[in-house]
Amino acid sequence: MQIHAVRALTAVATGVLASACMTSRIEQERHAATGVADGESLVILARSYHTGNSTEEDFVDCLAKNLSRGRAGFHVYDDDQFLDDFYPWFEPRTEPVSTAQLPDILQTAAVSTALAEAGIRYIVWLEGATDILDGGGGISCAVGAGAIGCFGLTWYENGASYEASVWDLKALRSAGQVSADISGMSMIPAVVVPVPLIAPTQTTACKRLANQLTVFLNGPSATLASP
Amino acid sequence: MSQHLRQPRLRGPRNGIARARASATALATACAVGCAATAPVDATFPTPLVDPLPLKIGVVYGPDLASFTHTEAIPDEREWTVELGEANVALFNRVFSSMFAQVVRVPTPEGGTEPVGGADAGGDPEAAGGTRNGTAPPRVPESSEDSLPPASAAALHGIDAVIEPSVESYEITGPKEPDVGDGFYTVWITYRMSLKSKDGRLIAEWPVRAFGKSIPKFFATDEAVAEATTMAMRDAGAYLALKFASEPRIREWLRETGKLQQEAVEEESGTRQEEP
């Protein structure tokens, strides 16, 4: 019985440690100076599923929320509203794949006028997703007289990999890219009751990408937003 | 600016307990009668932000388009019925009204039962001008921001051409369908567009193949199917709005009729995105 208890405690401790153990890599590549003036805003768009991208809408929302948070937050134009307002120029089939296509889009008077009215200075294109990279183990549950019990351990490794490309609509060029790669292991040890210990890879990727984008958009002198 | 219309993309369910309960109840009810379900396709679409061509176009919505219903059993899942007749009419009303300087709706040649006056893009299920599976009588909306004006005899005399969209095919794959499932609901719709001169001569006929996908929702698979369908319809509208004038035969016709200058047509086609 004592051996079982020790095993259980070991499993729980391992799970706690493992769930807290995430590796992250944040990278930035700058092509041009940036800055956001009063009245200017940005929009975050997920790259098209036509190209096989599957960035989660929840991640787009999370990033928008983090970038607009606080007094120094940016004004972020709602992505769904933007796609409706500028239909059909940024649909999965028609979205520009390079900044060289921007002049063609902006030569439609209605588009350039609407963009100016909305004050949209930057488009942040998102690519990437959170995926389960590996996993294993198992949990067995049994039902007895008036009781249910589980025992075992299951685990999986999550990888959240995202890249944000920033387009400057004023300069009609790419300002640069910021990327975040987070991986972490989640575990569900079960000693009578399963205890999920989840590594929040996607949330972490969202916060760190937002922090780095804040620095990137404001320029080198900006400070990191609190996580 | 249009009101917020877009369906959420690749998004998990953002719903309340009430919606989950309602969906679960609907699902349970559907399964009780043989695991068949109906996807409620929304008939609201944004207005394309494009410069209109200087054309007066008559639009024909045949009953096959205006009351289009697709039924298909997805392997290892259930039988889906997707009704997109009303949405078809709402989509094309929106798109054509932005693409052309003037648009009038022409009665169908099948005996004039098609009402003149257009569809209600606000989602009125009976406003499409056709009948639902041939049972419900059509109702013409009193007014709507994208209702098409009635085509009087005088109005029909002044038109440059008549365009008629039709549905050539509708295909759907489920997220777990053997061999083809990729974790998403995926919908392909092929519309066939026909452009005729006012004297009935065929100017051009071309397909518009559209594609949409959505993430499955645990308690709202009907919404996921509807969203994939809506995305495919938006895809078709986007292609049509941006590529119409660069279709080779249409470009030639526009040049012949002097409706668009040579350089404008070339510019038009040069700025358009290529079909993937």
Structural domain includes residue B265: no
Closest CA to A105 of A120, B45, A34, B7: A120
pLDDT tier, A52 (very low <50, low <70, confident <90, very high otherwise): confident
Which of the residue ranges A171-175, B4-8, B97-101 would you say has the lowest mean pLDDT? B4-8
Contact assessment for residue B57 and residue B102, using Cβ atoms and an 8 Å cutoff: yes
Kindly state the average pLDDT of the residues A94-112: 93
Domain assignment present for residue A169? The answer is: yes
Which of A1-15, B24-38, B56-70, B166-180: highest mean pLDDT?
B56-70
Residue B254 lies in a domain: no
Cα–Cα dist A119/A115, whole Å: 6
Q: Give contacts of A55 with chain B, Cβ < 8 Å.
A: 10
Residue B155 lies in a domain: yes
Q: Residue B49: phi, psi to the nearest 5?
A: -95, 75
Whether residue A80 is contained in a domain is answered as: yes
pLDDT band at B3 (very low <50, low <70, confident <90, very high): very low
Q: Identify all chain A residues contacting B12, using CB atoms and an 8 Å cutoff.
A: 56-58
- Of residues B20 and A97, more confidence is placed in A97
Q: Please report whether residue A148 resides in a domain.
A: yes
pLDDT over 90 at B257, yes or no: no
pLDDT confidence of residue B176: 82
b/e code A175-212 from CB counts within 10 Å (16+ = b)? bbbbbbbbbbbbbbbbbeeeeebebbbbbbbbbbbbbb
Note the pLDDT of residue B141: 37
Residue B219 lies in a domain: yes
Residue type, A73: G
Q: Tell me whether B249 touches chain A (CB under 8 Å).
A: no
- Which chain B residues are closer than 8 Å to A114 by Cβ? 1, 49
DSSP per-residue letters across chain A: -HHHHHHHHHHHHHHHHHHH-EEEEEEEEESS-----TT-EEEEEEPPGGGT----HHHHHHHHHHHT-STT--EEE-HHHHHHHTTTTTSTTT--SSGGGHHHHHTSHHHHHHHHHHTEEEEEEEEEEEEEEEEEEEEEEEEETTEEEEEEEEEEEEEEEEEEEEEETTTTEEEEEEEEEEEEEEEEEEEEEE--B---HHHHHHHHHHHHHHHHHH-TTPPPPP-
Average pLDDT on B124-149 reads 38
* Interatomic CA distance for residues A174 and A166, integer angstroms: 6
In a domain, A227, yes or no: no
Helices and strands counted in chain B (H then E): 7, 8
Contact check, Cβ <8 Å, A56/B5: no
Does any domain span residue A126?
yes
Please report the pLDDT score of residue B109 as a whole number: 58
Give residue A113's domain range. 2-218
pLDDT: is B178 or B146 the higher one?
B178
Sorting pLDDT into bands at 50, 70 and 90, what band is B258?
confident
Q: CB of A56 within 8 Å of any CB in chain B?
A: yes
Is A158 contained in some domain? yes
Say which of B1, B184, B241 has its CB closest to residue A88. Answer: B241
Q: A-contacting residues of B 44-63, CB under 8 Å?
A: 45-51
Instruction: Please state the domain count of chain A.
Output: 1
- Residue A148 token pair: 């249910």
Domain count, chain B: 1
Q: Are B239 and A81 a contacting pair at CB < 8 A?
A: no
For residue A119, name the pLDDT band (cuts at 50, 70, 90).
very high
Q: What is the pLDDT of residue A67?
A: 96
The reply to whether B106 falls in a domain is: yes
Asked if residue B139 has pLDDT above 50, the reply is: no
Residue type, A158: N
Task: Give the phi and the psi of residue A108 in degrees, each rounded to 5.
Answer: -75, 115
Query: B213 lies in which domain range?
Result: 17-237
Interchain proximity A88–B12, CB inside 8 Å: no
- Report the residue from A58, A81, A89 with minimal CB separation from B4: A81
Residue A224 counted as domain residue: no
Burial A28-60 (b: 16+ CB within 10 A, else e): eeeeeebebeeebbbbbbbbbbbeebbbbbbbb
Q: Grade residue B266 by pLDDT with cuts at 50, 70 and 90.
A: low
Average pLDDT over residues B166-179: 89
Q: Chain A: nearest CA to B229, how far in angstroms? A: 14
Indicate whether B50 belongs to any domain.
yes
The neighbour count for residue A133, using CB atoms within 10 Å, is 13
Rounded to two decimals, the pTM is: 0.78
* Residue type at B144 in one-letter notation: S
- What are B180's two structure tokens? 């083809």
Chain A residues closer than 8 Å to B191 by CB: none
Mean pLDDT of chain A: 88
Whether B109 is covered by a domain: the verdict is: yes
What is the model's pLDDT at position B125?
A: 34
Backbone angles phi, psi at A169, to 5 degrees: -75, -15
pLDDT band at A16 (very low <50, low <70, confident <90, very high): low
Instruction: Say what the pLDDT of residue B35 is.
Output: 74
Average pLDDT over residues B59-78: 89
Per-residue pLDDT band at B228 (split at 50, 70, 90): very high
| Residue A1 pLDDT greater than 60, yes or no | no
Is A210 within a domain? yes
Cα A75 versus chain centre, distance: 18
| Mean pLDDT on A198-217 | 95
Q: Looking at residue B147, what is its pLDDT?
A: 58
What mean pLDDT is predicted for residues B212-226?
A: 83
Residue A160 pLDDT exceeds 50: yes
The pLDDT-based confidence of B23 (bands split at 50, 70, 90) is low
> Does the pLDDT value for residue B53 go beyond 50?
yes
Mean pLDDT over each residue of chain B, to the nearest integer? 74
Q: Is B275 on the interface with A (CB under 8 A)?
A: yes
